[in-house]
Structure 1
Amino acid sequence: MELMSDIFSRFISTVSSISYRDIIDMLLLAYFIYKGIKLVRETKAQQLIVGIFVVVVIYVIASELRLKMMTFILENFFQVGILAVVIVFQPELRRILERVGRANVKSLNVFNDGYSADNTTQNWSNAIDVIGETVSQLSESATGALIVIERKIRLGEQIDTGTVMDCIPSVATFGTIFFPKTPLHDGAVIIRNARIVAAGCFLPTPQKEERINKQLGSRHRAAIGMSENSDAIIVVVSEETGTISIAENGELTRGYTKERLIKYLRSQIIPEKKPAEATLLSKIIGRKDQKDGGKSKKD
Structure 2
Amino acid sequence: MDFQQALEVLNQFDWSAAIDVLLIAVAIFAAFRLLSRTRAITLLRGAVALILVLVILGLAFDLTAVNWILENGLVALIVGAAVIFQPEIRRGLDLLGRTGIQDLLAHDPTEDTIDAVAEAATRMALKGHGALIVFERETGLQDVVEMGVSVDARVSTELIEGIFFPNSPLHDMATVVRGARVVAASCELPLADEVRGGVRRFGTRHRAAVGITEQTDALSVVVSEETGEISVCQGGLLDQVERGTVLAQELHRRLVRHGEDGSGSPAGLERVTNE
Alignment of 1:214-233 (within 5 A): 214-233=200-219
Structure 2, unpaired ranges of 5+: 259-275
In 2, Cα distance between the equivalents of 1:234 and 1:156?
A: 16
Matched, 1:132 2:122: no
Q: Which secondary structure does the structure 2 equivalent of 1:210 belong to?
A: coil
- Aligned-residue offset at 1:98: 5.3
Q: Pick closer, same or farther for the CA change 1:70–1:263 going to 2, 3 Å.
A: farther
Counterpart position of 2:232: 246
Q: Pick closer, same or farther for the CA change 1:134–1:10 going to 2, 3 Å.
A: closer
Counterpart position of 1:190: 176
Q: Pick closer, same or farther for the CA change 1:238–1:55 going to 2, 3 Å.
A: same
Aligned residues: 247
Alignment deviations for residues 38-61 of structure 1 (CA, whole Å, 9 cap, x no partner): 221112222222222222222222
Structure 1, unpaired ranges of 5+: 273-299
Letter aligned with residue 63 of structure 1 = G
Q: Pick closer, same or farther for the CA change 1:71–1:11 going to 2, 3 Å.
A: farther
Larger Rg: 1
Matched, 1:180 2:166: yes
Q: Which secondary structure does the structure 2 equivalent of 1:262 belong to?
A: helix
In 2, Cα distance between the equivalents of 1:199 and 1:154?
A: 16
Aligned-residue Cα RMSD (Å) equals 3.9
Counterpart position of 1:270: 256
Percentage of pairs with the same residue: 30
The one of 89, 96, 110 aligned to 2:89: 96
Q: TM-score if structure 1 supplies the norm length?
A: 0.66
- Aligned-residue offset at 1:146: 0.4
Q: Pick closer, same or farther for the CA change 1:156–1:118 going to 2, 3 Å.
A: closer
Q: TM-score if structure 2 supplies the norm length?
A: 0.71
Alignment of 1:36-185 (within 5 A): 36-66=31-61, 68=63, 71=66, 93-97=86-90, 100=93, 102=94, 107=97, 112-114=101-103, 117=106, 123-124=110-111, 126-185=112-171
Alignment of 1:27-38 (within 5 A): 29=24, 32-38=27-33
In 2, Cα distance between the equivalents of 1:70 and 1:128?
A: 53
Alignment deviations for residues 152-190 of structure 1 (CA, whole Å, 9 cap, x no partner): 333323222223333332222112111122221112122
Work out whether residues 235 and 246 of structure 1, in 8 Å CA contact, stay in contact via their aligned partners in 2: yes
Q: Which secondary structure does the structure 2 equivalent of 1:196 belong to?
A: strand
Name the structure where helix makes up a greater proportion of residues.
Answer: 1
Q: Pick closer, same or farther for the CA change 1:36–1:67 going to 2, 3 Å.
A: same
Q: Pick closer, same or farther for the CA change 1:154–1:10 going to 2, 3 Å.
A: same
Q: Pick closer, same or farther for the CA change 1:218–1:11 going to 2, 3 Å.
A: same
Alignment deviations for residues 109-140 of structure 1 (CA, whole Å, 9 cap, x no partner): 9x6244584968xx41x223322221122112
